[in-house]
Structure formats: C-alpha cells, structure tokens
Amino acid sequence: MQAVLMIVIVLIVFSGLYFLATYNKFVMLRNRVKEAWSDIEVQMKRRYDLIPNLVETVKGYAAHEKNTLDAVIKARNSAMQSTGTVADKANAENALSGTLKSLFALSESYPNLKANTNFLELQKELTDTENKIQASRRFYNSNVLVLNTKLEIFPSNLIGNAFGFTKQDFFKLNENEQAAKDPVKVSF
C-alpha cells in the first residue's frame, strides 16, 4: 500500500514539474518571438527613415522620374501604416522592397546620380539595413518555428492550448504574388 502511495506521489510531482517546465518554455518562446519581431521593426524603422533622403537625392538628378519616386513614397507610407497581421506587414514590406529596386535601377541611367556620394552612402546604408532585415526575419522565423512546433507536439500541445498560446505566422513572401519574386523590369 505504501509503495502504491509513493508511486502516485512521484507521478504527481513529476507531472507537476513537467507542467511547470512546459508552461515556462511556452512563455519563453512567446517572448523570444516578440523580441524577434521587435528587431524586425527596428530595422524597418531605420529603412523608413533612410528612404526620404534617398528619394530627395534622386529627385535632384532624375526629377522627371516622378512615377518611380511617387511609388517609393507610397510604398513606404503603406508599409509604415500597416498594422494588420504579420502576413499583411510582410506584403507591405515586400512591395516597398520592390519599389526600392526600381529606384536603384534608375541610377544605371543617370551616371551623375550613380557617382553622387550622398546617393552612394544612402544606397550602402539601405543595403546594410536590408541585410539586417533579412537576418531579423530569419531570427523571427526560427523562433516562430520552435514555438509552433512545440504547440503541435504531444503532450506539450495540451498545455499550450489550455493556456491560450497560439501559433504565429511566418514573415515571408506571399507565394501567390509572383511579382514579388520576379526581377524588376525597368524601361525608358
């Protein structure tokens, strides 16, 4: 009788410890996903701040390229105002990246712009920021993968679902938007 009681007590203690460890793991994973998203937002803010300076520099050399410049500003404003899901934000950011490619393609047609030190420095800063955004996206997506996997694996999924932990969206290209994957075509 005492052996059965000891086994029951050990099982209860083990179950309690497993429950606590699993719950704490979910809290940690959720916070890592939030931290990773914050890193993405910091880099996107940096990009938003660089774009007006870049557009002004290009305006001085290619003022008649108003449509391209307006598209960049419109995409920037749309990305800044996007407050929906991660997928909505990703789509807005991908549209902005596409318009920036068009802006940089303009420099090929304007040798003076291409040689301008302000333009070159802004282009370098923006390229650096784009690389940091890519790294931040990878970090975010890897944390989302760990959280989502933990929410799907038995028996941790029972604890995660019971306490309202939810799967998160990946920050990726919209697979239905072929235009986001195609190279930018510029014609004059």
Domain harbouring 67, CATH code: 1.20.1440.20
For the record, the structure tokens of 59 come out as: 């305006």
Q: What is the pLDDT of residue 187?
A: 39
- Helices 66-81 and 2-61, axial angle in degrees (round to 10): 160
pLDDT of residue 168: 93
- Residue 103 inside a domain? The answer is yes
- Tally of structural domains, the chain: 1
Predicted model pTM? 0.75
State the residue for tokens 């920037």: 76
Q: Is residue 115 part of a domain?
A: yes
- Residue 14, pLDDT score: 94
> Is 9 within the bounds of a domain?
no
28: in domain: no
User: Is 4 among the domain residues?
Assistant: no
Q: Which residue type occupies 100? A: L
Cβ proximity of 23 and 165 under 8 Å: no
Band the pLDDT of 176: cuts 50, 70, 90. very low
Which structural domain, as residue segments, surrounds residue 84?
Answer: 38-181
Q: How far apart are CA 151 and CA 157, in angstroms?
A: 5
pLDDT > 90 fraction of the chain, expressed in percent and rounded: 41
Do the domain assignments include residue 167?
yes
Residue 23 in domain: no
14 located within any domain:
no
Cα separation, 9 vs 79, in Å, equals 56
Cα separation, 178 vs 97, in Å, equals 14
Residue 63 is predicted with a pLDDT of 67
Question: pLDDT of 94-124, one tens digit each?
Answer: 888 888 888 888 777 777 777 778 888 888 8
Higher pLDDT, 156 or 115: 156
The angle that helices 86-106 and 66-81 make with each other, rounded to 10 degrees, is 160
